[in-house]
Chain A
């Protein structure tokens, strides 16, 4: 065997949507190729969870999100709770006080009305808990087989009641990165429910409205530079997106990132990296280094921030780069995944 075989064929470009376009770098490419050029405007260019724009003497924030989760009910939540929290959290990440939501239901022919009522009740209860109202909506029905039971889209409007610009562009070298709690509960809860994994101690989704937590930061006078809720793609994807938009380098310490034992255990088994697992009730906050301790105290005083940790800081140079000190002390980069995480083979 002196001349090894070289038998790798050419790569194949995508001319169709793949499931892998639902996340990671392929999603980023899809958005940049199709949506950004078509809709280009200064508000969209902020690349934030929602758009912030002047209205009268103040500013409003506006956001929208679609929900296609399977199963519809999972430990710790359901599609209704998820859809309300998603819109509320996107507004809160703009530094806004969420006020009004819309909800659009796409129903598949044959879907159980009893199940629909449960979802609607969950939407109602979560909205009440978050202090927002569902003020408009829409319903469509598609043929059997053309939808996965129920798809749900929410949009939301919130008011900004302070002078800060809470956005990736406000991040500065010297800022610290604070994480509000442990990672990966939602992703693991969904995988476990979907694959019917029998866990010794069930993992509940962290799904929760974060507007109260954000409000406590703003009321405490913290100079919040940027907030991001960690949804699909997890902590790593959020950091990479913010580093890219801010044009700065973010460095984190792996050993400072809290991950609960059952989540870590399942990650080890399945070959998942908790840094990329979905969350629905966690945020990262970028604040000036001098306010790190004060911010941690405020976060930890709130029930949704009890386990808050300082996980890293922002540095100048290497724009768009995210690096991490590994558990054994070496440094590596964090990169976007190509698509969704897949379970390991062996």
Chain B
């Protein structure tokens, strides 16, 4: 397939790997920010091609994973109301709240629906004027413009029965937080290509400068990732810390201006709580005053619930790249995709799910 096959060529991958081996003189630790990249790395075995000493650690770029339990509990509270149809993306429905997940709520009678796009939820609202449609809006800057579009559309249609539980988050504050942590061991970043296709590269310049880390905006295919690592290591070896764009076929320096305008129109920066990272200033997107009537938290008078502190899940450490999924004692035993302790084992972008699905230690199926 055009623009995919070329980036999975085994001979070129080998060439890039050889080049990497030649250019690397000492150990380096690089974080790929996005969960989509994590899955590509584990699925294709890209890390097996890296020279010894080069470590890829997995970042917090999985929207489902970083959504805190408190917000999921709010979604469950809303779904329990008879007038509400709660909509979200598939993965979000499987993440456990304090008591249960949304799919179990659905099986017990709640009207929970999987949608492919936020505009589907607007259509649902227009078609069901007697019901309250709540869209549980998760995702980074990549998905937020589609949510903004849904808000504008609902506004245009004058819908009174459409609202959002907004969980949108921004990548740069999370990177800043990781770099500022005394536990940090990340020396360079592969920035999330899809996020940058919307936001561009500019907001990463101050991070690279301030923390003296190279940041390479990187795509998702095996050759993209190998090249991203190669460029990052080239900078590290040369003592540089610049923002580079490996994914130029999709990312313009200024990003996608119409999408950014949509974000600007509908959302403003707000503090947001992240699973594993705590509350980060200006790390979330909240509805601007002009659209606050679409805010489900206000419409339904929701209060922020405090999550239950329990369990042996180390999602926080995994999301910061401090621990790898298989270093968790519960991995693959007490925590599996069927009975997850935490969100990274649920989401198709979660690091734990990637390790479970592609790299589980070889145990007979009957025991798994």
Contact = CB atoms under 8 A, between A and B. Distances in A.
B282 to A, nearest CB: 16
A72 B42 CA distance: 38
B335 A11 contact: yes
Contact of B315 (A8, A261, A329): A8
A16 B104 contact: yes
A264 B4 contact: yes
B310 A330 contact: no
Interface string B46-65: 10110000000000000110
A25 interface: yes
Contacts of A271: 348
A271 B349 CA distance: 10
Interface stretch (A82-90, A155-163, A335-343): A335-343
A146 B343 CA distance: 35
A18 interface: yes
A16 B343 CA distance: 21
Interface residues of A, number: 50
B362 A338 contact: no
A6 interface: yes
B290 interface: no
Contact of A328 (B49, B91, B275, B359): B49
Given A5-B275, A9-B308, A346-B142, A328 B45 contact: yes
A261 B1 contact: yes
Interface in B176-190: 177, 180-183
A12 B348 contact: no
B277 interface: yes
B317 interface: yes
B251 interface: no
Interface string B329-355: 000000101111111000011000000
A22 to B, nearest CB: 12
B89 interface: yes
Contacts of B142: 346
B307 A29 contact: no
Interface stretch (B20-28, B95-103, B227-235): B95-103
Nearest to B273: A5
B365 interface: yes
Given A12-B104, A244-B366, A265-B1, A7 B338 contact: no
A33 interface: no
Contact of B116 (A4, A10, A326, A343): A343
B61 to A, nearest CB: 9
B284 interface: no
A26 interface: yes
B10 A329 contact: yes
Contacts of B13: 328-329
A5 B276 contact: yes
Contacts of A243: 365
B320 A4 contact: yes
B362 A326 contact: no
Q: Please indicate which of the listed interface residues B48, B140, B343 has the most CB atoms of chain A within 10 Å of its own CB.
A: B48
Interface in A1-32: 1-2, 4-14, 16-20, 25-26, 29
A326 B348 contact: no
Contact of A9 (B49, B98, B276): B98
Contact of A345 (B104, B138, B310, B311): B138
Contacts of A255: 10
Contacts of A329: 10, 13-14, 45
B360 A335 contact: yes
B194 A346 contact: yes
A320 interface: yes
Contacts of A331: 45
Given A9-B311, A271-B348, A327-B10, A345 B98 contact: no
A195 interface: yes
B222 A20 contact: no
B311 A10 contact: yes
Q: Please indicate which of the listed interface residues A6, A7, A261, A265 has the most CB atoms of chain B within 10 Å of its own CB.
A: A7
Contacts of B48: 330
Interface string B259-287: 00000000000000001111000000000
Contacts of B313: 6, 8
A342 B316 contact: no
Given A265-B1, A345-B63, A328 B222 contact: yes
Contacts of A332: 42-45, 358-359
Nearest to B64: A345
Contacts of B255: none
A243 B314 CA distance: 33
Contact of B1 (A4, A264, A346): A264
Interface string B21-44: 000000000000000100000111
Given A195-B116, A321-B362, A332-B45, A10 B64 contact: no
B91 A346 contact: no
A140 interface: no
A25 B338 CA distance: 8
A36 interface: no
Contacts of B127: none
A190 to B, nearest CB: 14
Contacts of A26: 338
A278 interface: no
Closest 6 pairs between A and B when the two form their complex, measured CB to CB:
A330-B45, A342-B90, A8-B342, A8-B313, A4-B316, A320-B365
22 contacts: A4-B276, A4-B320, A4-B322, A5-B276, A7-B276, A9-B97, A10-B310, A11-B339, A12-B96, A13-B339, A14-B107, A25-B337, A29-B338, A320-B365, A321-B364, A326-B45, A328-B46, A338-B94, A342-B114, A343-B116, A344-B349, A345-B348
Interface of B: 1, 4, 8-10, 13-14, 36, 42-46, 48-49, 63-64, 68-69, 89-92, 94, 96-101, 103-104, 106-108, 114, 116, 138-140, 142-143, 177, 180-183, 194, 222, 275-278, 307-311, 313-317, 320, 322, 335, 337-343, 348-349, 356-360, 362, 364-366
